C-alpha cells in the first residue's frame, strides 16, 4: 500500500452498510473503529476484483479511512451540520491512521497520508469539489485543506511516537 486517504462519510455518527462498502475502516462518533467490508489489500491492484472505492482515480494502493460524521454539513457559509466530528472520534481516528502507517510502512508525508480535500491540490487528481476533511473540532470555519491535513499529520505523528515509546517500554 502506498498511501492513506482520510475522509468523513457525510453521514451520521453510526457506520452504515454503504460506509463499510467504501472505506477500509470507519470511526463511529463514539470512537469505535469499525472494519469495512474489504481489507486494504483489496485495493493493492484494481481490476477484476472487488475493492473499496473511496477516492476518484486514486483507489489503487490507497487505504480509505473515514469518520462517520458531517451529515448536513455545508462548506460555505460553514455549518458543521447535526453530526460534526467529535473530539473522541478524532483521537481514535488519528490513532488508527498511525497504526496503519506503521503496519503498512507508510511514511507520513503530504503525498502519502492526506485528506480527500488535499488529493486535487497535492496530487493533481480531480475530485469533484470534495472538501473532506477541511474542518476539525475547534475550528470556526473550513480551512485550507493542506493546512488542515498538516494538523492531522502532526496528530498522527504524535500517535506514532506514543506507539513507538510504548513498544520500547514493554
Q: 58: domain range? A: 3-169
Q: How confident is the model at residue 165 (pLDDT cuts 50, 70, 90)?
A: confident
Q: How many domains does the chain have?
A: 1
Q: What is the pLDDT of residues 29-88, one digit of tens each?
A: 999 999 999 999 999 987 768 999 999 999 999 999 999 999 999 999 999 999 999 999
- Compute the distance between CA of residue 129 and CA of residue 74 in angstroms, rounded to an integer: 12
**Closest residue by Cα to residue 34 from 55, 52, 19:** 19
pTM value? Answer: 0.95
Q: Cis (ω within 30 of 0) for the bond into 39? A: no
Alpha-carbon dihedral sign for residues 152, 156, 159, 165:
negative
Region 14-30 average pLDDT: 98
Domain CATH number, residue 156: 3.40.80.10
Amino acid at each position: 500500500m502506498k498511501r492513506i486517504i482520510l475522509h468523513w462519510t457525510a453521514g451520521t455518527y453510526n457506520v452504515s452498510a454503504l460506509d463499510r462498502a467504501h472505506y477500509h475502516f470507519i470511526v463511529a462518533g463514539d470512537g469505535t473503529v469499525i472494519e469495512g467490508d474489504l481489507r486494504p489489500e483489496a485495493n493493492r491492484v484494481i481490476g477484476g476484483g472487488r475493492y473499496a472505492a473511496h477516492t476518484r482515480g486514486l483507489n489503487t494502493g490507497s487505504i480509505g479511512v473515514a469518520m462517520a460524521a458531517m451529515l448536513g454539513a455545508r462548506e460555505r457559509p460553514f455549518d458543521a451540520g447535526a453530526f460534526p466530528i467529535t473530539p473522541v472520534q478524532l483521537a481514535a481516528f488519528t490513532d488508527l491512521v498511525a497504526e496503519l502507517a506503521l503496519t503498512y510502512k507508510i511514511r507520513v508525508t503530504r503525498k502519502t497520508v492526506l485528506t480527500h480535500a488535499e488529493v486535487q491540490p497535492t496530487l493533481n487528481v480531480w475530485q469533484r469539489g470534495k472538501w473532506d476533511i477541511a474542518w476539525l473540532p475547534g475550528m470556526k470555519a473550513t480551512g485550507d485543506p493542506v493546512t488542515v491535513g498538516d494538523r492531522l499529520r502532526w496528530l498522527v505523528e504524535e500517535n506514532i511516537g506514543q506507539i513507538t515509546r510504548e513498544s520500547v517500554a514493554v
